Amino acid sequence: MEENLAKKRLYSAVQPTNALTIGNYIGAINNMVALQDEYDCTYAIANMHAITVRQQPAQLRANTLSVLALYLACGLDPQKCTLYVQSHVPCHAELAWVLNTFTYVGEMERMTQFKDKSAKHADNINMGLMDYPVLMAADILLYKADVVPVGIDQRQHLEICRDIAVRFNNVYSPTFTVPEGIYPKVGAKIADLSDPAKKMSKSSENPAGTIFMNDGRDAIIKKFRRAVTDSDGEVRYDPENKPGISNLLSIYTVFTGKSVAQAEAEFAGRGYGDFKSAVAETVADALAPVQAEQARLLADKGYLDSVLAEGARRAYKTASSTLAKVYRKIGFYQL
Ligand code: TYM
């Protein structure tokens, strides 16, 4: 499959840090799978972003293949989309350098994620952590993406990517496609089960509030049983006043395909205990076959490597052509 000029282009990526969570699945991977027929899709495993926080090398290597196997197990088809590892395409670092000169230090200092991660990793506030959104802009702009499906926590990064693209285009004539974010209608920000004010995160210190994609049935049931709710006793979607229950409703509707109204009706007059069990069973049932398929794929490293080699080849073709155009425009002497 070569670049498809008839379709709009879509780009997204996931960092191979820790095991992924159902937040990653609901916020991003679910849409990435749903949109693979409609768009010309490129999906990265963002290992260059991952090292902005110190990683254990062997773990990072293993997580990289795990994310690929999960992409495939969730239904991404390498015949339809390009799946590759970010560091296999050198153009990302190269374009990020150029875009750095179109990005202001003050803008980066104001990024919410930079502030959060700086507070969390106060002993390692490295330049990469601050430059993270510029590398992300390079990812997206290299592939001329029209749309980028992500969770709401990436909105600020997507906005800065758009600003950088427009800035560059204004100086050098239209070069970059200015991308739009695609956020899920339900579940754009899945909350931590034990603290619904917080985002469910793969790097949370409290795994009790996080459902990992590789959690077993018992762990899933235990975590949902302990999920923080409220004292009003009614299963009703009201994120403002009932964040815990609303979060569980989001999870339930995404995994069952039911509407919020249907789910509310189903649990009308029933206690939270029943509802939590139903959500837990639904998630455990949905994840079991994905986990089995991921394990099967991970046992076939030859196949996974072949997917990545082909993905890197295709990705490089598009990325290097965008980078050459940028280098020409900014006046880099070319041989
Ligand atoms: P990452 O690895 O943190 O998360 C991957 C995707 O999962 C979404 N997500 C969530 N959605 C809903 N609820 C949650 N609790 C939740 N937690 C995570 C994220 O929004 C994301 O879509 N910087 C990106 C990776 C990246 C990227 C890119 C994305 C690198 N380059 C280019 C898009 C385009 C990140 O850290 O995602």
Q: Give the DSSP per-residue string, 95-164.
A: HHHHHHTTS-HHHHHT-HHHHHHHHHTTT---HHHHHHHHHHHHHHHHTT-SEEE--GGGHHHHHHHHHH
- The pLDDT value recorded for residue 6 is 85
Residue 3: predicted pLDDT: 56
What radius of gyration do the chain's Cα atoms show?
21
Q: Is residue 14 a contact partner of residue 20, using CB atoms and an 8 Å limit? A: yes
Domain encompassing residue 263: 207-295
Pocket perturbation via mutation, ligand 1, pick of 74, 146, 150, 160 by most ligand atoms within 8 A of CB: 150
The whole-angstrom separation of Cα 97 and Cα 101 is: 7
Q: Whose CA is nearest to atom 20 of ligand 1?
A: 151
Atom of ligand 1 nearest to the CA of 151: 20
CATH assignment at residue 92: 3.40.50.620
Whether 275 and 316 map to the same domain: the answer is: no
Pocket test for ligand 1, best of 153, 155, 158, 255 (most atoms within 8 A of CB): 153
Clarify whether 117 is annotated catalytic.
yes
Q: Which helix (DSSP H) or strand (DSSP E) does residue 3 occupy?
A: none
Please tell me whether residues 87 and 155 are part of one structural domain.
yes
- The answer for residues whose C-beta is within 8 angstroms of residue 35's C-beta and 6 or more apart is 10, 41, 147, 149, 182
Rounded CA-CA distance 123/110 in Å is 19
pTM for the model: 0.96
Cβ atoms of residues 190 and 211 within 8 Å: no
- Of 151, 78, 94, 92, the C-alpha closest to 303 is 78
**Quick check: 98 and 135 in contact, CB under 8 A?**
no
Tell me: do 169 and 29 sit in the same domain: yes
What local confidence, expressed as pLDDT, does residue 206 receive?
A: 85
Q: Which of 115, 120, 189, 199 is catalytic?
A: 199
Length of the chain: 335
Lining residues, ligand 1, CB within 6 Å: 11-15, 23-24, 26-28, 46, 49, 136, 139-140, 148, 150-151, 153-154, 188-190, 199-200
Give a yes or no: residue 287 inside a domain. Answer: yes
* Ligand 1 centroid from CA 294, angstroms: 20
Residue 169 in any domain: the answer is yes
Tokens of 260: 């919020």
Quick one: which atom of ligand 1 is closest to the CA of 11?
34
Same domain, 55 and 170: yes
Query: Residue 197 domain-assigned?
Result: no
Q: Which of 73, 64, 77 is nearest to 19 (CA)?
A: 64
The dihedral of CA 141, 147, 153, 159: what is its sign? positive
276 given a catalytic annotation: no
% helix, strand, coil for the chain, step of 5: 55, 10, 35
Query: According to the model, what pLDDT value does residue 52 have?
Result: 96
Respond yes or no: is residue 223 known to be catalytic.
Answer: no
Each residue's pLDDT, cut to its tens digit, for the chain (335 residues) gives: 555 678 999 999 999 998 999 999 999 999 999 999 999 999 999 999 999 999 999 999 999 999 999 999 999 999 999 999 999 999 999 999 999 999 999 999 999 999 999 999 999 999 999 999 999 999 999 999 999 999 999 999 999 999 999 999 999 999 999 999 999 999 999 999 999 999 999 988 889 999 999 999 999 999 999 999 999 999 999 999 999 999 999 999 999 999 999 999 999 999 999 999 999 999 999 999 999 999 999 999 999 999 999 999 999 999 999 999 999 999 999 98
| CA 334 – ligand 1 centroid, Å | 36
Q: How many domains does the chain have?
A: 2
Q: Is there a single domain that holds both residue 23 and residue 150?
A: yes
pLDDT of residue 289: 98
